[in-house]
Chains A and B, each alone.
Chain A
Amino acid sequence: MRSLRDRLQGIHRGARESPNPTNGPEQPHALPDGFEEVITDKGTAHVREQRCPSSSIDASAVRDVLPFLLPAEKAPYCVSDMLFLDLETTGLSRGVGTVPFLTGVAYQDGEGIVIRQFLLRDPAGEPAYLEIIAETIRERPYLVTFNGRSFDLPILDARYMLNRMARPKTRGHYDLLHPARRLWGALLASCRLSYLQEHLLYCSRDNDIPGSEIPGRYFDYLSGGPASVLDDVIAHNGLDLLAMVGLIARMAKPLQGEGHWHEHMALARAAADIGQPGASATQTERALKRAGDDVQYFQTLRLQADLHRRTGGRPAGVPTWMLMISLVEAGISVGSDTVLPYIQMAKFAEHDLGDHGRALAYTRRAIQRIHASNVRDMALLEELEHREGRLIGRLRRTFPAACRCSIEG
């Protein structure tokens, strides 16, 4: 007679064998180094606190750069209200079964950065664990995360819901992932936090545990493995928190005039988007100086001209467009958009000067440029030919037949 267990084994081939099943759930797991018990209303939680007196949140960076990059979020009243937060979880899926077993936060007090890490010693202790996290968030309700909008915060929300607890109210949330992509997406091979830390903050993560091994470490711990299996995870979490602190300061660097072309461009666009032309102009000036090649230079000019046009009307863009045209005509390789300054000048000639002849000339030069190029935007070509036809029509009405041959020639 086959027992249920035999049948289970039959269908469950390849199941993981428990390495150390002797340590049952009754035996509380040992705590990793530095963790202490804290009593909450909902039971005992486990916290480790570390001070980093030498580091601090760069208050001026926060004040200067975040309004550009995260304009939708209200600025914090003061840096000490900010809470950097990062979760280590049992998996990457966003379903309700993913458990954030280690929550790290970092904040600043009078003596520098404090890192506090909360460990879910056993899933049964989740209410106390969530309670102390909630208390911490309530004290500093401006969160800073890296991809927290779509990962960390929804996961935490689900845990509060599952435990029928109110989720702590936050007053602001700075998710640094999107600004990071904006600044460095085109510059770096990856926008992963650890990668940014290594390549922008020059902080080595050589001994860092790969993210894919993190869930397994916790499972080992829960099934009776030594507390030290978590050490690497705890260190990893601490590094991530410090990386976020460092990243804000690093984001502000181009504002002080020492950035990469990509960074200045991103900031110039961001400033233009929120209606700060002055700041945007400063950044384009810097980008022009930092342009690594003709293509980048040309792109910067384009942004600059656009900015001028937006603030001062079409005539304000003219000097820059003329400069762009001279670059194109000098045969300098400027990448795509070579026809753009011609089109803008044609519009300027037609609408601002009323000089249809000049407008026609620019339009025809634009058409020639398209024909000369190996990449042909047919829609654009059609639009230009339409414009050409219209201008010819205007000129015919304006001038008598005498001019016809020269127009059509």
Chain B
Amino acid sequence: MKLEQVLDQIGSNRRFSEQITSWVRLPSRPAQYGEIPPLHMKLCSALHTRGIRKLYSHQAEAVHQVQSGKHVVIATPTASGKSLCYILPIIDRILQNPQSSALFLFPTKALAQDQRTKIGQWISSVGGGIASYTYDGDTPADSRRSIRHAGQIVITNPDMLHTGILPHHTKWVHLFENLDFIVIDELHSYRGVFGSHVANVLRRLQRIAAFYGSSPTFIASSATIANPRELAEGLTGRSFALVENSGAPTSKKHLLMYNPPVVNRELGIRRSAILEATEILHQLLANDVQTLAFARSRVQLEVLLSYLRQRLPNKVIRGYRGGYLPRQRREIERGLQTGEIRGVVATNALELGIDIGSLEASVLVGYPGTIASAIQQMGRAGRSDCPSVAILIASSRPLDQHLVTHPDYFFERSPEHALVHPRNLLIRVSHLKCAAFELPFTREEVCHDHEQQEILDYLAENRVLHASADRWHWMAEGFPAEEISLRSASTGNVVIIDRSEEKPSVIGEVDEFSAPMLVHEEAIYLHESTQYQVEHLDLKERKAYVRRVDVNYYTDATFAVETAVLEVFRGEQHRYSHRYFGEVRLSAQPTTFKKIRFNTHENLGWGRIPLPPQEMHTTAYWMTLQESLTNHFTDGEVESGLMGLRHLALEVAPLFLSCDRRDLYAVAQVRSPFTGQPTLFLCDAYPGGVGLGESLFTLEDQLLRTCIDVIENCICSDGCPSCVGVPSEVGAHAKALAFRMLDIVMGER
């Protein structure tokens, strides 16, 4: 059956149609072309051989901008041919000047390998002669030497650049002396703590390039986010030209928002998204629609897969988790292409740029956490001329419930700001050490940056650097790059050690502050969709010992968080509320933890966490409710309303920040010792902050409006997990109270 007939069937079945909150039909759009810019003869004939007579308009524009010497960021949808935007100008330059070299950065090794194959194909289609290599942790020692001397195209990841290339730059003279291009693919993945680290690594990279006399051009490609140019500029410190109007053709596409049926209206409980997904996937697969489903976790994936296989024993349906070997991935890709595999249930592992060809349907079982991810997952369907469908099945989380009635987030402008804060003191100091190790700082170099001078002087006083007349020299033992991991938080992390196998292995790290919350004894720690139970937490040795388990619950720690304001950076006073951005001291005293069943969120038990409080300095946004507002409420009402707001704001804020809920701490104080008023704090969960607080200060209006919208659209009567939280936790009438407070606050704006 044709896809559209299947959709008609679903649409006319009341079982489904009543749950579809929105059905958007996006028309097909023909390709828009641009002229092929002047390129080397060999490249022109390679294009010709591949049947490419014209470039899409965004590709032509990007190549043109690069050729005119600008740094360029390309932010067009999935599968719009972004990689050609950098492959063409770079191969062109190398053909003109074989000395020229380029550095490609991909966030993961798997992606780097995939792209290398693609780049290799282009190189052979221009007759070869260009040396391209991947340089990462897997590169054998004996080939490293030849890569360093001969590689014109070096493909690596930021971590390797940070520990393996920059601190050894004198071995990479050929690359750095001729470095014309730096490609940053999947730009949007460099945000938050990771992004802030990478921003500093890129500054170090440019500093080393300048030492060897080169000033490379950046070419970045990003998924659709609200601020690609700002992100590119924040990451590199350079001005960028933005290319965002895709000229790639799109086929006709259906976008369905699906909210599972209400089970208990009063408590705001809906049927599980997994069960609904099984029904819908059954409809699609049984009618032979080739479908890709995205689950939120490995456990969800397994459940969904087993349900589907039971119901459709004759169909080939595969699972796709993280950590698959290239061979297994190729096998699935091939199976999808030949049509032998009819369905794939994947976790986010499939999201990043892996080429699985075109499918007819993409089903998202729950909102993946960021709009960019959701758009990428939806973009997995509809790569050819045929119509396609993307279906989002909402979970009971507040953001899911909000998005299911606002489909325009997915095809209009994304609200998501990917943020980096390269000046985070902790991160900055770490990388200034690495930079000094790589090359002494000259006074001249830092004369315009007072803060940097002060940090360098401070490090010199503490005998990490040595200040001579005009320079700061690294003068300590050790290898600073190895002490800093780009992917996790501060120094002094707690290392997570898996004891499931005979030989224990390190599977991750958490920062010291979060350790009591995330890896207290008996906690369920999720890593790459695998569940581990914490057996022992040794805070002194900074080690948490875990063992693999398979349980149907996760744990959620309760902790009393207190904040004290240390400094106000910005403030704005309105009649009913004030808003601020500043530095705070957070202290968290873990108390108890709950075991919560997946999907139903049922409480399965609890335990105490006998650990001392943790302290951290960070940045935060906070909102105070002024007397002009609180006068309308009793003290008890203020408390309930504020608690409800705390729950809701924490859930909604990630929509604007491209972050996880766990990247923020929310604290409500009925009478803040600092402001003297009822105050709601949203604090950056990383020491020193990575920009979330400041962004929330700026985006407060949007944040509060969205909160109002969520409350208005929630079906429950008096608060539920999908809006302000359950009454037993936040207090009676929190839903109505929070709504009234927000209504008054926003009424004057």
Contacts and interface: CB of A to CB of B under 8 A. Distances in A.
B481 interface: yes
A25 B454 CA distance: 16
B462 A26 contact: no
Contacts of B171: 158
A397 interface: no
Nearest to A19: B463
A24 B437 CA distance: 21
A93 to B, nearest CB: 4
A90 interface: yes
A118 to B, nearest CB: 17
A97 B474 contact: yes
B436 interface: yes
Nearest to A15: B462
B455 A95 contact: no
B462 A16 contact: yes
Nearest to B469: A124
B479 A91 contact: yes
A222 interface: yes
B566 A2 contact: yes
Nearest to A214: B477
Interface stretch (A5-13, A259-267, A298-306, A364-372): A5-13
A99 B464 contact: no
A403 interface: no
Contacts of B438: 95-97
B170 A16 contact: no
A2 B458 CA distance: 15
B471 A123 contact: yes
A198 interface: no
A96 B170 contact: yes
Given A123-B440, A124-B471, A7 B425 contact: yes
Interface string B168-191: 111101000000000000000000
A90 B475 contact: yes
Interface string B335-370: 000000000000000000000000000000000000
Contacts of B479: 91, 93, 95, 97
A1 interface: yes
Contact of B425 (A8, A15, A223): A8
A21 interface: yes
A17 interface: yes
Nearest to A125: B468
B93 interface: no
A97 B476 CA distance: 9
B466 interface: yes
Nearest to B430: A11
Contact of B481 (A5, A8, A95): A95
Contacts of A97: 167, 436-438, 474, 479-480
Contacts of B687: 11
Interface in B184-241: none
Given A4-B454, A96-B438, A219 B170 contact: no
Contacts of B490: 11
Given A10-B617, A161-B173, A95 B168 contact: yes
Contacts of A187: none
B605 interface: no
B585 to A, nearest CB: 10
A90 B474 CA distance: 10
B439 A5 contact: no
A93 B169 CA distance: 14
A258 interface: no
Of A5, A7, A16, most B-chain CB atoms within 10 Å: A7
Nearest to B433: A97
A25 B173 contact: no
Given A7-B425, A11-B687, A97-B436, A162 B461 contact: no
Contacts of B417: none
B136 interface: no
B474 A21 contact: no
A95 B173 CA distance: 14
A93 B473 CA distance: 16
B425 A161 contact: no
B619 to A, nearest CB: 11
B473 A215 contact: no
Contacts of B617: 7, 10-11
Contacts of A11: 425-426, 429, 490, 617, 687-688
Interface string A12-32: 100111100100111000000
B567 interface: yes
A122 interface: yes
Contacts of B550: none
A101 to B, nearest CB: 9
A158 B438 CA distance: 10
A2 B583 CA distance: 9
A94 interface: yes
Of B167, B480, B583, most A-chain CB atoms within 10 Å: B167
A8 to B, nearest CB: 5
A202 to B, nearest CB: 32
Contacts of A96: 167-170, 437-439
A95 B471 CA distance: 19
B269 to A, nearest CB: 45
Contact of A99 (B463, B473, B566, B567): B473
A18 B470 contact: no
B742 to A, nearest CB: 33
A5 B454 contact: yes
A301 B8 CA distance: 88
A18 B463 contact: yes
B519 interface: no
Given A4-B455, A11-B425, A122 B462 contact: no
B476 A219 contact: yes
A111 to B, nearest CB: 38
A219 B440 CA distance: 16
A148 B458 CA distance: 35
Interface string A214-225: 011001001100
B467 interface: yes
A208 B451 CA distance: 43
A8 B476 contact: no
A223 B473 CA distance: 13
B458 A157 contact: no
Contact of A17 (B462, B470, B478): B462
A216 B477 CA distance: 8
Interface in B290-314: none
A16 B455 CA distance: 15
A104 to B, nearest CB: 20
Contact of B167 (A18, A26, A95): A95
Interface string A86-106: 000011111111010000000
Interface string A24-63: 1110000000000000000000000000000000000000
Given A11-B425, A99-B473, A2 B567 contact: yes
B225 to A, nearest CB: 30
Interface string B456-500: 001001111011111101111111110000000010000000000
A174 B716 CA distance: 82
29 contacts: A1-B567, A4-B425, A4-B451, A5-B454, A7-B425, A7-B617, A8-B455, A11-B426, A12-B458, A15-B462, A16-B464, A17-B462, A18-B463, A25-B467, A95-B437, A95-B479, A96-B168, A97-B167, A97-B479, A97-B480, A99-B475, A124-B468, A124-B471, A161-B173, A215-B477, A219-B466, A222-B475, A223-B463, A223-B466
Which 9 residue pairs across A and B have the least CB separation, nearest first?
A: A97-B437, A124-B468, A95-B167, A123-B473, A161-B170, A93-B479, A15-B462, A158-B170, A91-B477
Interface of A: 1-2, 4-5, 7-8, 10-12, 15-18, 21, 24-26, 90-97, 99, 122-124, 157-158, 161-162, 215-216, 219, 222-223
Given A26-B469, A222-B466, 15 more contacts: A1-B567, A7-B425, A8-B425, A8-B429, A11-B617, A12-B458, A18-B461, A25-B468, A90-B476, A96-B169, A97-B438, A123-B475, A124-B470, A161-B173, A219-B466
